[in-house]
Amino acid sequence: MIRRAALVIAACAALLPGLAQAGALQDMIDAAPDGAEIVLPAGVHEGPIVITHPVVIDGQGAAVIDGGGTGTVVTIETNGVTLKNLTIRNSGRLHNKVDAGLRIHGSFNVIRDVRIENSLFGMDLTQASNNVLRRNYISSKDMPLEMRGDSVRIWYSNDNIFEQNHIEHSRDFVIWYSEGNKIRDNRIQHGRYGIHFMYAHENFVEDNEISDCVVGIFLMYANDIRVTGNQILRAWGASGMGVGFKETSGAVVEDNKILGNAIGIYLDPSPWDPDKTNEFHRNHIAYNGVGVEFHTDWVGNNFSQNNFRSNFTQVSVRGRGTALREGWHGNHWDDFAGFDRDGDGIGDSPYEVYNYADRLWMDLPPAQFFRGGIALSALDFVERLAPFTEPRLLVREAAPVVEPIEHAAAVAPTATQSDRPKTALEMLTQ
């Protein structure tokens, strides 16, 4: 019966002379029975539309819903809707109204193979849980970065799956007050915050490629987040950082490639909860300006089996502190100058980092302008030859690993799509 309804609706749609006119698509959706499949013919269909009962809308890869530059283009106010194979474009430009390509206020909806173009905000999920958003493309309007809207805005929404999407030229992918969301196998490029958590606990960030953003992933007052298997690349500029923490506890950061960022990992008093730690294991941290930077002398961050290679500075600490109270166990440092006479793969002496002239730019951030310059390099060279001030021990690892550690994050980059088996729910929503 549902399939027959789909065929009738598709046939009627092809014959409606006013389909491209405002209201025609909305009327067709309102008239469709629950569960019907609405197959849109190729062409432009005028929005905005609001979907208030469960239907399937299939654009066959050639249909466009155009908002005409006003408001939100498509709003879902129910459960069980499927949108697939279509383009949504031209939302309004008002931040105070969160003008978006797609807004979801329901659960168990499936959005797949949808392009959202020239829309201020891409997807806005508010009190929307257990939705699947797969293989979509999202970009914002052609505006300065700070004036664009967020590619994805998740607000009080739990247990959503967001995977295999491509996001570019938007502002932030931001998650507020939400938990259980799985963000995996996505490509996120040319934004401000690749992924930004705010008061959002127990979420998962897996196997994403995040590149050329101001900040790759930032965890702010967000506990028990798992960040695993990601490639976080080229977050550069004055505020550039691969993975940033602000008063965040219980995080697990494992098997990531953190490459070519101004700061690889930045920790601003984290962990905040004295009963929790942050764990950093088997990451490849390379070609960054600073490998790991601490905002202040702190405790509770454990680093093991990481490769620190070709960073301009391996570790820095602001505010005249040290990183001696953090946990450093079994990491590889490519500037380790010791020996391994017994051939067990462990250095015969500790790995130690002392501050000489680099204390200047660590203690006085404006002095970073001269970092790498001739004057500061010459001063550092002379200071190391004949110190005229007492150097400060910054980092000490008792048993460093001499050779690079072979693990998943150390191999060449691969495609972002995961090979893990699908759950039953995911197979049903393919």
Angle in degrees, CA 424, 153, 174, rounded to 5: 95
What confidence score (pLDDT) does residue 58 get? 98
Phi then psi for 428, rounded to 5 degrees?
Answer: -70, -25
369 φ/ψ sector (left φ>0, alpha ψ -120 to 50, else beta): alpha
What confidence score (pLDDT) does residue 363 get? 58
Fold of 10-428: Pectate Lyase C-like (2.160.20)
How many whole angstroms separate alpha carbon 351 and alpha carbon 396? 6
How many whole angstroms separate alpha carbon 243 and alpha carbon 40? 42
Residues 6+ apart with CB under 8 A from 231: 208, 209, 210, 211, 256, 257, 259, 413, 416
What confidence score (pLDDT) does residue 355 get? 74
What confidence score (pLDDT) does residue 408 get? 76
Instruction: Delimit the domains of the chain by residue range.
Output: 10-428
Here the tokens at position 72 are: 């939100």
What confidence score (pLDDT) does residue 234 get? 97
* Axis crossing angle, helix 2-15 with helix 24-31, rounded to the nearest 10: 160
What confidence score (pLDDT) does residue 409 get? 78
What confidence score (pLDDT) does residue 308 get? 97
What confidence score (pLDDT) does residue 208 get? 98
Pairing state between β 74-76 and 100-104: parallel
How many whole angstroms separate alpha carbon 135 and alpha carbon 113? 5
Residues of the chain whose pLDDT is less than 50?
A: 1-5, 7-9, 11-19, 357, 361, 414-418, 421, 423-429
What confidence score (pLDDT) does residue 390 get? 66
